[in-house]
Copies of this chain bind each other. A is one copy, B any other.
Amino acid sequence: MKQQLKKYIHRYVDFSDAELDAFIAKMELIKLEKKKFILEEGEICHHQYFLLEGLVHTFYLDQDGNERTSSFALENWWFTSLESYIKQSPSFYSIQTIEPCVFLKIAKTDLDALFDTIPNLEKFFRLMAQNMVIALQRRTDIYQKMISKERYEYFRRNFPEFFQRVPQYLIASYLEITPEYLSSLRNSK
C-alpha cells in the first residue's frame, strides 16, 4: 500500500531506506466513500494528502451557492488546502471525494519535525511545490488564451481520464462555465 508512495518519491529524490521509512511511518492510511468531505471550508487544514486510489476535488461556494472547482486530484497526486495548511488559517476551500478513495495523510507537526532531520524531504516538497506552480501557471494561461470551447477541447484531449470519471457539472465548474453551456458545446460539434 505504502509501496506506491515510495515508488512515487523515488522518481524525484534519492532517499535512504531509513529516511523513507521515517517519513512513511508518520503517514496514516484513510479510506472514504464517495461524496465525503476531507476538509470543510472554514476549518484549518492540518494535513497534506497523497491519493492512492480514487478522485477528489477542491472547491468553494460562490455567492449564489454554486460549487466552484479549483482543482482535481487523481491517483498519485498530492493535495491539501495549501494556504490554510501553511498559515494554519481557516480554509477558503472544501475538499471532497468524488469517488471512493484511499489516501495517506501526514500532519503538519510531524512533517515540520521531519524537515529538520531529513534534508531530502525539504528537497522533495520543494519539487512538489514547484510542480504545482507549473501546473497552475499552465492552467492560468489556458484560461487566459482560450475561449470555453477551446478549453473544453484542450482538457478533453489532455486529460481524457477526467472526462470519463468526473460528472459534467463538475467539469463545467472547472472550465468556469455553466453546465448548460457545456452541454451545448458538447453537442454543437
B134 touches A86 (CB 8 A): yes
Interface of A is mostly: helix
Which of the residues B60, B115, B123 comes within 8 Å of A141, measured between beta carbons?
B60
Using Cβ atoms and an 8 Å threshold, which residues of chain B touch A125?
Answer: 126
A133 touches B129 (CB 8 A): yes
Most interface-central of A82, A115, A125, A126 (chain B CB within 10 A): A126
Give A81-92 as 1s and 0s: 1 = Cβ < 8 Å from B's Cβ atoms: 011001000001
Q: A143-B143, A145-B68, A176-B144 are in contact. Are A82 and B134 (CB under 8 A)?
A: yes
B140 touches A70 (CB 8 A): yes
Q: Which parts of A123-175 form the interface with B (CB within 8 Å)?
A: 123, 125-126, 129-130, 132-134, 136-141, 143-145
Q: In whole Å, how far is A134's beta carbon from the nearest beta carbon of chain B? A: 5
Using Cβ atoms and an 8 Å threshold, which residues of chain B touch A62?
Answer: 145
Using Cβ atoms and an 8 Å threshold, which residues of chain B touch A115?
Answer: 123
Q: Which parts of A21-68 form the interface with B (CB within 8 Å)?
A: 60, 62-63, 68
Q: In whole Å, how far is A120's beta carbon from the nearest beta carbon of chain B? A: 9
B139 touches A140 (CB 8 A): yes
Q: Which residue numbers of A lie inside 8 Å of B, CB to CB? A: 60, 62-63, 68, 70, 82-83, 86, 92, 115, 119, 122-123, 125-126, 129-130, 132-134, 136-141, 143-145, 176
